[in-house]
Every structure is written in structure tokens, then in C-alpha cells.
Amino acid sequence: MNKKPMNEDDLQKLLQQQPPAPDADAKARHMAVAMAAFNAQHTNEQNIAQDTIHNINHNSEKKTNILQGFLQRLRLTRDTNHHGKNTMRAPTFEQRAFWQKPALISGIAASSLAVLAGLTFMQHLMINSDEQELAARIAQESHTKNVPLNVQQPSADLTLEESVVSANSDLAKKQAVAEHEQLARSKMVAVQSQAMMEQQPMALSAPAPAYAAADMMSQPAPEFRDRFSDVNENGVLAVKNNPVSTFSIDVDTASYSFVRRMLNNGQLPEKDAVRSEELINYFDYAYPLPTSKKTPFTTTVSLVDSPWTKGNKLIHIGIQGYQLTASEIPQSNLVFLLDVSGSMDEPSKLPLVKQSMGLLLDTLKPDDTIAIVVYAGAAGTVLEPTKVKEKQKILAALTNLQAGGSTAGAEGIALAYQLAEANFNKNGVNRIILATDGDFNVGQTGDEALQDFVERKREQGIYLSVLGFGQGNYQDALMQTLAQNGNGTAAYIDTLSEAQKVLVTEATSNLFPIAQDVKIQVEFNPNTVKEYRLIGYETRALKQEDFNNDKVDAGEVGAGQRVTAIYEITPAGAQSGLLEESRYQQETKVDTKTSSEYAFLRLRYKLPGETQSQLLETAIEKNVLPDVNTTYQQEVNFSIAVAGFAQLLRGSNYAGDFTYDKVIELAQANKGKDEYGYRTEFVQLVRKAKIAQ
């Protein structure tokens, strides 16, 4: 039967009727449908939040809000009547018509789910697209800035021999990859932040979720705050005004290893990180060996033309220490003082420390003792003094170390000295070996306070050596202070190969002293030398009167160690000098007895345990010039190449026309036997410096 169409009068009648009472069952059904739609939407929103670390796209959120508004219009809502009570609002004409059509309801519900799924899919597409764009931008930036993916990869122009040496160890490669990944993550965060800032005007109505901000805060860009002492390069001095040069011996090598790490990372080191004497003394030189422990040094002097200033000459002084035989090596009472603070939680720090200490165990005698002290927020004893023959017990203590907390280094040093004193061996070597990145940030950590403490313990016969690890917060200045005043050496361990060199190959040199308070003094002849300068040793300078004062502390030399010092001089009458001669300077009367001498060398030292120094003296003759074909002359020339390289890295005012190419040429021609490949590696570093300049 056909129904009569509804007209305007019919609508008016309907509007004047009282709405029927709400049906409880219908209300329940309607609410169930609405809540189902709401729960479906809420569940999808939670999944989107968990899968995404970026901000929810504004457009996607807008579309979601449209769907919410659509569903909201279909819900029955409450209203407040004139009595202030909440009542269920009567359904509108459109709502009644809608809910009376189940097929339409089902269709819209299915469509809603489809829209939600589509929005989620589009959101993932946009996120993936953003990630791909970020990755592409980072790759482009890395390519533009030549960020090295493998710092150990040799240059294309290297010889086969040099390529083999470039692979120091698997650990070094892993460290390089880890550093690159950390840099890449930092770049990703930076690009994300920039993208968010660019989109900020569009996203004011939809702020980024809290989890995205927290994630970026958890990955800050690395902070580099390596600290080195400010050092001015030794200048040129006039012999007539300053005829005497005095300095303390230095056998540290930390500077060379740090410079190597920087160059392997494609960066030139800051000039204060380059200590010329430590670069020169990093290498072994075939100097003549002494034959007696009572006279533990030989001194050899050479004279060569300066390769960077025409007309000048170089006085090369090579000092060789006595090498102990196996039967002469004393027992050791060692305390490993290990930094396990949070700053050591990097592949190139605590893991490398553990491996390095393990290598050292293989060089010690079974009856030597090892104790382990660690420090982070506080200090503690991990291993009481234990015989080396209980190697597995010592290794287990090392293996269990974990990094975390702040750095109470001063407290750790005090505890280490207590253990060393408790197990003191009056007939042996008592030494603390500190392994740290130098980041002392808790307690009384002033350099001077620590220096005074270490000096007092040195006088009691307990020495302190320092092994530096890591980069970014390496406190070189403090490491040098501790080692110099603790009668120990300072080395920097950047690879497992370097740990092998310092703690195995050179273990005897670094552990067992043959002389202490070793000083050098050179007096120049004003009749034959107009000017001079000492290359390096700026932090080891002494006053002239300190040389004969046995109360003044100086450097320690270990068994078999070599020390090299190089002076550049301007001979009298040469036109290559930098200083103007005084108009009123009185002429010096020529002494025929010394007219053949450029200078006079004095070496003062104390034997271990003695308080009175001994003296060695050598005249430096004008005609000293070894045969250029001898092995010794190769050693001299290679050390001069290293000295020239150090001056170039420091930006020296006195490098003249010397270049990296000339360093390579001189070093290549004088590599000699190069048993461990260190000299070949040096040539590679010079090439890298040339590229990085």
C-alpha cells in the first residue's frame, strides 16, 4: 500500500508532539555501537603511538578528528535542563532516521574501520618517507664533509707494506665504526630537530607527543672537552745572553698516540696536544748500548744540516739506557687503579682497559702481586694483593668490572696508595698504574692538591704511571701532572696494538727504573754559535741552578729506554739568524782550547734509591758528522723527520720551507728495519695530515 507523501503541515504536527520516553534497550544498543567505534579508534591511536618515534602528522590528525566529529554527531548526548539536572537529550529527527536503518549502520561502521586503517597506512607511509629523507640528507652531508666510514682504510697511493700495517687490530676497527655510528645518530637527531622547527608553525594546534621529545633528549650530541696545557713553543735565544739550556728528561709517548687517533679520524690535532719530544721519543732508535748498570747511560752526539732552514745546523743528542737482564728484573708490587665511572662506558675505554691489563699479566713473574682498586661515585677494592700465578682470579676480577656513576678519582688514588703501602716491597718496584680518561669530577680534584699528594708518596718509594683512554673528555693536563710528579710514564692507549707496545714490548722500560731525576744541560760556545733553540721539552724546562740541586725533581728513565733531544743552532757568521746582534756587545776573547766546540753536554742522574746525583759530560765538536751510510745516521735522520712533522702540526714559526712531502721523503729514505711497522705507520699519518690540513 502506497503511503501519502509527508508535507510541511505533517512536519509541523510532528514537531508539536511530545517526544516519546527514551527506550532503555535502544539507549544501550546505541551506546554499545558508539563505544565500539570509540574503542576501535582508541586502540588504533595507541598502536600508532607505539610504532612511531616522530610527531603525528598534522594532516593525519585532522582526518582522525573529522571521523571523531562524525561519530560524535551520531551519539546520544546529555543536556542540562532548566532545573540544573542532566537529562538524556531527545534524539533529533536525523538521529531517529539514522538509527532506524540497520543496514546503513553496518555499512558506515565498516567504512569507518576502513578509513582508520587507511589513515594508519598513510601515516606509516609518511613516517617511512620522512625517515628515508632524513637518511638521504645525512648520507649527503657525510659525503660532503668526507666523514670516514673506516678510519683504518689506507689511502690508494700506499704501498703494500703500508697497507698491511694500517690494520692495527680488529678492536680498532670496531671502535672506528662505533664512533661513526655515534656521529650518525647525532646527525639524525640534529636533522630531526631542524625538521620539527621548520614544521612548527603548522603544528601549533597539534604539539609533538612527549615520547618523541624524550627520545631526542636521551641522545645528545657528543661533547668534546679534551683538556691540554697551554704551551708556547720554545723560541730562539741568543747565546751571548743565554748560553745555558737546562731541562728534565721526558720519556712519555702519550702525545703521539693521541695525535695518531685524531689523524685516523680525519682531523688535525690542536697544537697543544702536540708535544714534539713525545713524538720523537715514541720510536726506538739503535743507539749504542751501555755495558754497566753503574753507568746506565751512553750519549751519542751528531751534527747535521737543518732541512728546514738553510745555513742552520741540528745538534742531535741520543741517550741510551741500560737494559736489564732477566735475572736483574726485581719483583713487582703493582696496584691497578681503574676508572669505572660512567664516562668510561665506551668501546675505546673500559673494555680496552680490561684487555690491556690482561696483556700486562703475561709479562710479570709468578710471585709478583697485583691488587685492583676501582672508582666511580666512590672507590673500592675489587681485588686484594694477589700473586700473579693466580692469573684466573685476577682475570675474573677484571672481567666483572662495569662502568657507571661519577668519578671520585682522588678517593681512588688515596685507596690505591693505601694498598701499595700495605704490601710494600723494599727490594722491589712499588707502582700504581692508573687507567682513566682523566675525568675527575667528584671530590677535591684540583691539579695542585693531587700533585702534592703524589709527590709525598713518591718520596716514600711508591711511583705512579698513567694510561689514558678515550676521546671527548680526555684530561691530558692532569694525566701529565700525575705522571711527572709520580716518577712514572704517561702513555695513551688508543688501540689494542698500542697496549701491546706499551705493556708487553716495552713493559720492562715502563715498569723498572734504572735512573731517576735525570737532567740535561747544554752550554753553548758564544764564539762558534750565535743562536739556538730546543725542539720540544717546553713543559720540562728547568732553571740553570736546578741542574746541580739534587732536591729538584726531574724525569725517570726505565730499563732500555732511549731519549732524544734536538737543538737547532745558527753558527757564528751564518746569515740565517733571526736575532739582531747588539750594537754595543763586547767581543768575546777566543779560547783556543774550545774553539772547535759548538757546545758542552752535561747529564746528571741518580741511581734508584740513592739521594746523590752523578754526572756525565761530553763535548760537542764542530766536526762531528757520522758516515751518512751507517745505520746510526738513518736513526738520526728519521728522528729529524719526526721533529719536522711535529713542528708542522704545531704550526711552528720555525719550520721554514719544510713540508709534509719533505717529511715523507726523509722518513721513507730512513725507515730502516722497522720490525713492528711503526715507522711505516708514521708515513701514513703524515699523508693523512697533508690531506686534513
Q: What is the pLDDT of residue 405?
A: 79
Q: Would residue 84 count as lying in a domain?
A: no
3-state helix, strand, coil in the chain (%, to 5): 45, 20, 40
| Residues 520 and 615 grouped into a single domain | yes
Q: What is the CATH number of the domain that holds 521?
A: 2.60.40.1230
Q: Would residue 416 count as lying in a domain?
A: yes
Segments of the chain scoring below 70 in pLDDT? 1-28, 30, 32-34, 36-38, 40-224, 440-447, 583-591, 625-629
| Paired residues of 42 in beta bridges | none
Q: What is the CATH number of the domain that holds 484?
A: 3.40.50.410
d(CA 673, CA 665): 17
Q: Would residue 37 count as lying in a domain?
A: no
Please, are residues 502 and 281 in contact by the beta-carbon 8 Å criterion? no
Q: What is the pLDDT of residue 50?
A: 59
| Residues 538 and 433 grouped into a single domain | no
Q: How far is CA 305 from CA 397, 476, 573, 668, in A?
A: 55, 34, 15, 18
Closest residue by Cα to residue 372 from 406, 397, 344: 397
Amino acid at position 438, single letter:
G
Question: Which residues have CB under 8 Å from 614's CB, separation 6+?
Answer: 604, 605, 606, 607
- DSSP assignments along 454-492, one per residue: HHHHHHTT-EEEEEEE-SSS-BHHHHHHHHHHTT--EEE
Q: What tens digit of pLDDT does each residue of 535-551 get? A: 999 999 999 999 999 99
5-35 burial, b if ≥16 CB within 10 A, otherwise e? eeeeeeeeeeeeeeeeeeeeeeeeebeebee
**610 φ, ψ (degrees, to nearest 5):** -95, 155
Chain-centre distance of CA 157, in angstroms? Answer: 28
| Residues 650 and 561 grouped into a single domain | yes
Edge-first strand order for the sheet with 297-305 is 237-238, 529-534, 562-571, 313-321, 297-305
Extract the C-alpha cell encoding 237: 735565544
**5 φ, ψ (degrees, to nearest 5):** -60, 145
Please, are residues 133 and 645 in contact by the beta-carbon 8 Å criterion? no
pTM: 0.69
Q: What is the pLDDT of residue 630?
A: 81
Q: Would residue 292 count as lying in a domain?
A: yes
Question: Which residues have CB under 8 Å from 328's CB, separation 6+?
Answer: 293
Q: What is the pLDDT of residue 594?
A: 84
Q: Would residue 400 count as lying in a domain?
A: yes
Q: Would residue 34 count as lying in a domain?
A: no
Q: Would residue 288 count as lying in a domain?
A: yes
Q: What tens digit of pLDDT does each residue of 194-247 get? A: 444 444 433 333 333 333 333 333 334 445 578 888 889 999 999 999 999 999
| Residues 436 and 569 grouped into a single domain | no
Chain-centre distance of CA 171, in angstroms? Answer: 15
C-alpha dihedral sign at 286, 297, 605, 326: positive
| Residues 367 and 251 grouped into a single domain | no
d(CA 568, CA 310): 11
Q: What is the pLDDT of residue 99?
A: 46
d(CA 162, CA 598): 40
Secondary structure string (H, E, C) spanning 555-583: EEEECCCEEEEEEEEEECCCCCCCCCCCC
Beta strand 429-436 with 379-387: parallel, antiparallel or unpaired? unpaired
d(CA 23, CA 16): 20
Q: Would residue 667 count as lying in a domain?
A: yes
CB atoms under 10 Å from CB of 139, counted, come to 13
DSSP 8-class letter at 17: S
| Residues 620 and 673 grouped into a single domain | yes
Q: How many domains is the chain partitioned into structurally? A: 2
Question: Which residues have CB under 8 Å from 537's CB, separation 6+?
Answer: 234, 247, 248, 250, 276, 277, 565
| Residues 658 and 546 grouped into a single domain | yes
Q: How far is CA 146 from CA 61, 139, 209, in A?
A: 40, 10, 35
d(CA 133, CA 20): 60
Which of these three, 511, 528, 544, is where a domain ends?
511
| Residues 262 and 355 grouped into a single domain | no
| Residues 367 and 494 grouped into a single domain | yes
- DSSP assignments along 127-152, one per residue: HHHHHHHHHHHHHHHHHHHT--S-TT
- DSSP assignments along 301-356, one per residue: EEEEE-SSSTT-EEEEEEEEEPPPPGGGPPPEEEEEEEE-SGGG-STTSHHHHHHH
Q: How far is CA 47 from CA 114, 203, 460, in A?
A: 16, 21, 67
Which of these three, 496, 511, 526, is where a domain ends?
511
| Residues 557 and 505 grouped into a single domain | no
CB atoms under 10 Å from CB of 650, counted, come to 21
Q: What is the pLDDT of residue 113?
A: 52
Please, are residues 667 and 686 in contact by the beta-carbon 8 Å criterion? yes
| Residues 539 and 676 grouped into a single domain | yes
**464 φ, ψ (degrees, to nearest 5):** -135, 125
Give the residue numbers spanning the domain of 478: 330-511
Which of these three, 481, 511, 541, is where a domain ends?
511
| Residues 552 and 447 grouped into a single domain | no
C-alpha dihedral (272, 274, 276, 281), degrees to nearest 10 = 130
